[in-house]
A and B are shown apart, each in its own frame.
Chain A
Amino acid sequence: MSLPAVLIVVAALFCVGLYGALSQQVVVMVMMGLELMLNAVILAVAAVLWFLAPQIDGAVLLLVVLAAMTVEMAMGFAVATVLHRSRQSDMTDMAADLAG
């Protein structure tokens, strides 16, 4: 096992998540894609921490990524709730007017 090998796995995870975030219509499924991408970031930071610079700064960064994931999850669920209440739908296409 080497750093490039782990990072290729990271790239695969990230790109699978990107595909999901771009292609899915249901808000919760889009969130799943975003979370897979954050999952890849977690693995990347842990790998760099282990293979390159085993210092505590990287672990602190991992903690921040986990916090970002928590915020994304909570706000995503809240937005899905509002969307469903106001438009009786959980599809991103039904909320296209919110873009930009």
Chain B
Amino acid sequence: MGVLSTVAFWVLAGVAVVFGALVFRVDSMARATYCLAASFVAVAVVLVLFRQDYLGVVTALMMIMEMAIMAVYMVMFMGMNPALMPMSMVHGRRTALGLSVGLFVVLTVGVLLVPWPSRRGTPIADVTRALGESIMGPKMLVMLTVSPVLFATIVAALVLAMPRGRYDRLGDDLRRRPPTDPQRGGVGR
């Protein structure tokens, strides 16, 4: 990698870590969301530096959308204007800080002590194409596993998030008539 890439990496790494830390320092959840988005986008650009173009773009797009959803959740659940009302809702702060700093020291010492081997092989020219061919070929089991997991997630999330489903209205055997509704519908109510 050239000097420009190295400089870009350190700037992006700084942005990722600093904004990641700011997530838990800023006064509002709205600002925390923007900080997390900035951290993720910085890491996504680093992925592009490492020639993982497709995954970098997917990460950036996914995280920006997720932060938008998070902003909606804050408005829904916090019951306040999160940009104007400072908040600090933490517990066990010293323990968490001690554990985190301790783990950082252990990981850093480990990283510095391990004799890392040199690179085997050369980077793949077109990673996006190779990835597509891989998951549709020899690594198809990954897709076959991830697909039902994602589908199950959709179903489970919907079941959890729905306030009332058809089983609440029509009973376990779906035979209850008329359905139990908070207010009757239809003509003549």
User: Interface residues, chain A, CB within 8 Å of chain B?
Assistant: 1, 3-4, 6-9, 11-20, 22-26, 28-29, 32-33, 35-36, 39, 42-43, 46-47, 49-57, 59-60, 62-64, 66-67, 69-71, 73-75, 77-82, 84-85, 90-91, 93
Contact = CB atoms under 8 A, between A and B. Distances in A.
Given A28-B29, A78-B157, A15 B134 contact: no
Given A80-B73, A81-B161, A84-B77, A36 B20 contact: yes
B75 to A, nearest CB: 11
Contacts of B123: 50, 54
Nearest to A51: B119
19 contacts: A1-B5, A6-B9, A8-B111, A13-B17, A15-B103, A17-B20, A23-B93, A28-B29, A33-B24, A35-B40, A39-B40, A42-B47, A43-B43, A50-B51, A52-B120, A55-B121, A70-B153, A74-B157, A82-B160
Contacts of A55: 121, 124
Contacts of A17: 20
B104 A11 contact: yes
B14 to A, nearest CB: 9
A56 B130 contact: yes
Given A3-B116, A63-B146, A13 B52 contact: no
Contacts of B149: 67, 71
B116 A52 contact: yes
B83 interface: no
A23 B20 contact: no
Contact of B134 (A14, A59, A64): A59
Main secondary structure of the interface of B (DSSP, over half): helix
Contacts of A79: 160
Given A9-B16, A26-B89, A77-B157, A36 B39 contact: yes
Contacts of A80: 73, 77
A24 B78 CA distance: 15
A77 B99 contact: no
Given A13-B17, A54-B122, A46 B107 contact: no
